[in-house]
Structure 1
Amino acid sequence: MEFIYISVLIIAIAFAVLVIYLTRTLRAATRTLDNVANTMSSLEKQLNGVTKETEQLLHKSNRLAEDIQHKSESLNSVFVSVKDLGDSLQGVNRSVRNVSENVSKQAERQSEQIGQAVQWGNVAIDLYRKWKVTKQQYENTNKEEK
């Protein structure tokens, strides 16, 4: 009988040790779960802050995109005006080129006439000089006779 009492005592001690270790394990698990809960709470707060910042950033990005779109549309009219100006300048250049070509053609056609006119002008100048020299000689001869 004594053997039974000793066996029951060993079982009771083993059960007590098991309960002690089980209690310690449960307390450690409780502390771990408390830490996880605190971490999750902190993470939730941080996530809320990040979410708010992300929303603000998204709103700012949308406003910036709208502003860029508006300014782009404003610049479109400027580019259209610059294109029109370029087209006008091309037209002016064509007109100047045509006038220049016409002047060149007319100058080529009339170059012979211009050359003849210059020759006649030279002949007229030579005749005038000769007449002047002859006149002066005549006046000098008349002065000597008197």
Structure 2
Amino acid sequence: MKHSSITASLVFALAASCLPIAAMAQAKATAAEATAMVKKGVAAMKAAGKDKDKLYTEVTAKDAKWADRDLYLVIYGMDGVVRAHGANAKLVGAAMMDMLDIDGKPYIKERIELAKTKGTFWQDYKFTNPTSKKIEPKSMYCEKLDDAVLCAGIYK
């Protein structure tokens, strides 16, 4: 009897110790979620017509439709200026074309070029994860719509 209660206690302790690992795994967004968020953003921009300011405000305000864990929507103009940013409102209006990641990669310039040539694409670079506050490898899914590029990414 004593042996089975010790075994049960050990199994429970082991299972409980795995919960934080499972929670961390679920804390990161998936590629499918990033793609879905961008497609939802594209649909919202199309529906907004010429009055996109409300959408930009919602995205930047971290509205639950546009920010979830480490996943958020970002909208750039084709000039590299941030129109909306779901993780950092301070970047709205910033000209980011010359921005470099930690490895010296001009990721915004590359993103705009990919938007011009491909329209829909995934891009890899390094960026600060708003959840962990650490610089991490990131893959960004983007779609060009008219004079804008809508993106959402996953941290690896």
The TM-score by the shorter chain falls in which range?
under 0.3
Structure (1 or 2) with the greater strand fraction? 2
Q: TM-score with structure 1 length normalisation?
A: 0.25
Structure (1 or 2) with the greater helix fraction? 1
Higher relative contact order (CA 8 A, sep 6+): 2
The structure whose Rg is larger is 1
Q: TM-score with structure 2 length normalisation?
A: 0.24
